Structure 1
Amino acid sequence: MQRAGNLLSLNPARIQNFWHGLPDDLKKIDGVYERQTDNKIVFFIGDRYWVFSNTHVESGYPRPISDFGLRMDHIDAVFVWPSNGKTYFFRGLDFWRYDEQAKALDVGYPKQVTLWKGIEPGLDGVMAWTDGYTYFFKGGEHWRMQRGAVEVDSPSPHSTHQVWMHCDPPTPPARPPPRGHPGSRDCSCELGRSEGSTLTWGSVTLLAGLLLCPLLAG
């Protein structure tokens, strides 16, 4: 994805083809962020993390996420808030704030995710984008906050499919004919009804698209 919000390609790309050194059996990435102190990219998968210079993993990785003071088996999301330069980790109902300069969690954390007003817990991803907004993703929807704000700009979430992947709006499921309608049976079945696809931030295809753009466009 380019900084203007345009996809470089409508086709997904395998993340290992670009980021060399991630596990071969990779199924899910829990979080990724760019470290402000040295512009290196940090990947979180389960209870371990990888640090990349350009597109290659540095020697000595992976390492346990306990290096950040996190006592858990995985995170839900991570991002750097431009308003203060601090790194935020999310897990379930709570979030932690990390100081990259001090290499330690700030005192007084964790705190509840509800301090970010309008956000639901159990996030899939968070990022601060070049348009000045911070985006919070969950399932196929997301919320956004203006720079420096801690409250969503709209109580209703936006569709990630349409806004970020430029997909067409989902087609409403077909409704069965009313009982007694010509050609229908008394024990009518609801034909054509199918579950809508769910786009998660942790999916490899979406993550690859979002991560490729700043590097290729920059």
Structure 2
Amino acid sequence: MQHTGNLVSLNAAQIRNFWQGFPEDLTKIDTVYERMTDNKIVFFIGNRYWVFSNTIVDPGYPRYISDFGLPVESIDAAFVWPHNGRTYFFKGDNFWRYDEQGRKMDAGYPKKLSLWKGVEAKLDGVMGWSDGFTYFFKEQRYWKMRGGAVEVVSPAAHSTHRDWMHCDSASDPPQPPLPRDPADKDCSCLLDRNSASAASWCRVQLLAALLASLFLRV
């Protein structure tokens, strides 16, 4: 995805076509973020993580997420908050704050996700975007917060597959879309909001877009 909000391609890409070093039996990635300290990309799968320089895994990986001081078997989402440069890990209704410079977990964590007012637990992803907002994703929905704020701009969730994937669904309430290129007008997706398969498809497509965004920056 480009910083203008337009997709590079309407087709999802195979992760291993970009990043070399994942296990052959890879079926999904839990979350991914880019470190501000060295611009390396960190991928999480279950209780392990991989660090990539550009598109090649660094020697010595994967390693266990306990390196971060995380007392869980997996995490739901992770992102670096530009507001303070800290890395945040989310699991269920808890979150942790990590100091990349000192390579240690900040004291006093975990804390409750409810401190980020207006988002739901068990997130699928979180990221800061070039427009200055922070975006929280869950299934087919997302919420956003301004800059260093910790409360959503609007309590009503927005449609991920419409605003980010530029797909259309008649079941969605009208929402102002993100800027899009006229060349993308032919995109259409038939998604049932009550369908588990549709939600799964949306998460896969969202991950592909986020990974493509990271790839363009390296």
TM-score (norm 2): 0.85
SS at match of 2:80: strand
Residues 14-163 of structure 1 mapped to structure 2, 5 A cutoff: 14-163=14-163
CA shift digits 1:85-140 (9 cap, x unpaired): 00000000100000001101000000000000001111010000001110000010
CA contact (8 A) 1:28 1:202 kept: no
Counterpart check, 1:198 vs 2:199? yes
SS at match of 2:199: coil
SS at match of 1:198: helix
> Which structure shows the bigger proportion of residues in helix conformation?
2
Name 1:165's counterpart in structure 2.
Answer: 165
Aligned residues: 197
CA shift digits 1:36-61 (9 cap, x unpaired): 11000000000000000000101100
Name 1:2's counterpart in structure 2.
Answer: 2
CA contact (8 A) 2:171 2:193 kept: no
Compared with structure 1, are the counterparts of its residues 22 and 79 closer, same or farther at alpha carbon in structure 2 (3 Å cutoff)? same
What letter corresponds to residue 94 of structure 1 in structure 2?
Answer: N
Could you tell me how far apart the structure 1 residues matched to 2:156 and 2:208 are?
27
Compared with structure 1, are the counterparts of its residues 39 and 194 closer, same or farther at alpha carbon in structure 2 (3 Å cutoff)? closer
Q: Tell me, which stretches of 5 or more residues in structure 1 are unaligned?
A: 173-192
SS at match of 2:206: helix
What letter corresponds to residue 67 of structure 1 in structure 2?
Answer: D
Name 2:183's counterpart in structure 1.
Answer: none
Q: Tell me, which stretches of 5 or more residues in structure 2 are unaligned?
A: 173-191
TM-score (norm 1): 0.85
SS at match of 2:216: helix
Could you tell me how far apart the structure 1 residues matched to 2:171 and 2:67 are?
46
What letter corresponds to residue 110 of structure 1 in structure 2?
Answer: P
CA contact (8 A) 1:139 1:200 kept: no
Deviation at residue 213 of structure 1 after TM alignment: 2.6
Could you tell me how far apart the structure 2 residues matched to 1:18 and 1:143 are?
29
Higher relative contact order (CA 8 A, sep 6+): 1
